[in-house]
Amino acid sequence: MSTSNSAPVSADRLNETRAPQALVAIVLCPTLALICVGLRLYTRTFLLKKVFWEDYTIVVAMVISIMMSVFMVLAFTTGSGRHIEAVSRDQMVFQSKISPGVHINYVATHMFLKLSIALHYTRVSVMPFEKRLCYALVALVLSGYTAVLIVQFIRCIPFYAIWTPNVPGAKCLDTTASFLAVQAHTLAMDFIILLVPLVILRHLNIPWRQKVVLVIVLGFGGMACVVSVIRLQYLRLSATSPDRTWDSYFSAVYGVIEPNVGIVCACIVTLRPLFRRWKWLQSGEIESSHVELPGQPRMRHGIHGSGQILTTHDDDEDGQRTRHSFNLATESKKDLMLTSSMTVEKDDAAESTAAGSRSSEGRHEMDIKSAV
């Protein structure tokens, strides 16, 4: 065992470990997220019969999150969570080897998770400004996290210098600064992802029960931001701690909680067709097969800049807004007017025929009287 001090180490310190508690969180969080992803795929595939790009990207995020959890399980079964005096040199080398796998998968999970959310925003937005904002968000997610991934791969040149000390000519970035920069970027993206729905959904007039669900989902998103802030503090502690295998416990646990909470939040908003089976969520909803004309009470309208009527259906699974052209409404009105006109003409023709018959009968009676 490696010892950092000449003083004898107590047996309690050598046997003390946080690994069991960490393993519970590392296994439980992705399991809950995996259940939510499964419900999402069930809803999309079997209830709606539609699968979108954001569904594929959330599956990729879930797979990478599981890979990150596997690396963390390996770390906490080979020394992490114990005091550094109780960790052997071989275990320390192994910890250094799997550390890049944890951090790269952490970044990749956040990239595909936030890309899924941004693609979802892009699909449900209708106003031109909202569309441009969502496309900018997609570009920001892709460019930002791609740059972060590149930094993770070139943290040391050559790469094996991360776990091999004293490599001739090796150049490495400051580990503490690198980790803190990645976490700060993730925190900033969390806040942006949280604020964008307030812009997209500001025009919606939805039933109060759905507002409650929306507030709860946004609350979970806010909780993910809080977790990012907490992890940033513990990451600084573990990166500078002399007992880093012991102090890495909190940053690792919060690191697995953070992306999986995001996956759960991203999936909850897509489960509305599943929630419709609950009676308390059925208020104000309509069937997707029911066709209504603009102006009916169960449809929400807004005027687009081009003169189109924007109609929002309560029956869509995620509040997706669809467009009905003003020409469609006008043609429908014309059809109604034409039908009414044809009815009036038929009535007039019937009345004219009846009047003509009465007039003919009157003339016939007069002719008979004259003949008599």
Q: How far apart are the first and last CA of the chain?
A: 141
Alpha helices, DSSP H only, in 52-88? 53-76
Distance CA 139, CA 173 (A): 26
Residue 236's pLDDT is 84
Q: What is the pLDDT along the chain (372 residues), one digit of tens a residue?
A: 444 444 567 777 888 999 999 999 999 999 999 999 999 999 999 999 999 999 999 999 999 999 999 999 999 999 999 999 999 999 999 999 999 999 999 999 999 999 999 998 898 887 888 899 999 999 999 999 999 999 999 999 999 999 998 899 999 998 888 888 999 999 999 888 888 887 777 766 667 776 666 666 666 667 778 888 888 889 888 888 889 899 999 999 999 999 999 999 889 888 888 887 765 545 444 333 343 444 444 444 343 433 333 333 334 444 444 444 334 444 444 444 444 444 444 454 445 555 445 544 444 444 434 333
Residue 203's pLDDT is 64
Judged by DSSP in three states, 306 sits in coil
The pairing of beta strand 299-303 with beta strand 156-157: unpaired
Q: Which domains does the chain show, CATH number per domain?
A: 11-280 (1.20.1070.10)
- Could you say which DSSP state residue 323 is in? E
Residue 306's pLDDT is 38
Residue 84's pLDDT is 92
- Tokens 């795929």 belong to 41
Beta strands in 165-227 (DSSP E): 171-172
- What sign has the CA pseudo-torsion 348, 354, 360, 366? negative
> What is the separation of C-alpha 69 from the centre of its chain, rounded to a whole number of angstroms?
21
Tokens for 365?
């009676």
Judged by DSSP in three states, 315 sits in coil
Residue 219's pLDDT is 63
Amino acid code (one letter) for 157: I
